[in-house]
Amino acid sequence: MKNKLVNRLLVYICILMLFTFFANSDVFAQSEEEAEQLIQQASEKLKTVLSMLEEMENINSELREIVLQTDDSLQLINEAKQLFKDAQYDLAKQKANQALTQLEDIEAEIAEINILVIKESWLLYSILGVASAFATFGFVFLFVKKLYPWFKNKQIEEYGNLEIIYGKEHGEK
């Protein structure tokens, strides 16, 4: 009777251990998949941010600060990749998630700067347009009031200087 009880207990323990093992391995596999996905997402976001940064023309101190933050995110992604290789999936997930959040903030910041740049460009182009219009009007005014009369006067003056000799037109001797 006693032996039977011990045997049953052993069987229960074995079943419990197997269940725990399979449950854990399932969680482990899920964690691995999640970490891989997060690293992938963060890497894609990094490429998006990089292409946005490459399009920026005026690299001022604000943008240099953003570049430093982007580099910080890159280091986090690389750390996450290393942790993933070492099968430390939870830590890898944490790092990748941190990088992703940071990169999303950077993306929003760059978009904000771009809106400001567009506004400034419009202002600059408007000033240039108005200046060009004034210059064109000025030029037309100068042409009509000064240059054309001066040219006409000069033409008349030149013609006035001409000496026409009559009587030699038809081969007269």
Q: What is the binding site for another protein (CB under 8 A)?
A: 47, 50-51, 53-54, 56-57, 59, 63-64, 67-68, 70-71, 74-75, 78, 81-82, 124-125, 128, 131-132, 135, 138-139, 142, 146-147, 150, 154, 157-158, 161-165, 168-169, 171-173
- If the CB atoms of residues 1 and 162 are measured against another protein, the closer one turns out to be 162
- If the CB atoms of residues 78 and 94 are measured against another protein, the closer one turns out to be 78
Query: Shortest distance, CB of residue 8 to another protein, whole angstroms?
Result: 52
Comparing CA positions, the residue from 90, 4, 106 lying closest to residue 53 is 106
- If the CB atoms of residues 4 and 168 are measured against another protein, the closer one turns out to be 168
Q: Calculate the CA 15 to chain-centre distance.
A: 56
- If the CB atoms of residues 46 and 89 are measured against another protein, the closer one turns out to be 46
Query: Shortest distance, CB of residue 142 to another protein, whole angstroms?
Result: 6
Give whole-number Cα distances, 150 to 66, 138, 142, 158, 159, in Å.
Answer: 60, 16, 11, 12, 14
Neighbours of 95 (CB within 10 A): 25
- 109/61 Cα distance (integer angstroms): 14
Say which amino acid occupies 128.
L
- 66/56 Cα distance (integer angstroms): 12
Query: Shortest distance, CB of residue 71 to another protein, whole angstroms?
Result: 4
Written as six digits, the tokens of 101 are 């959040």
Asked if residues 103 and 49 have their Cβ atoms less than 8 Å apart, the reply is yes
- If the CB atoms of residues 67 and 113 are measured against another protein, the closer one turns out to be 67
Query: Shortest distance, CB of residue 152 to another protein, whole angstroms?
Result: 13
Query: Shortest distance, CB of residue 37 to another protein, whole angstroms?
Result: 18
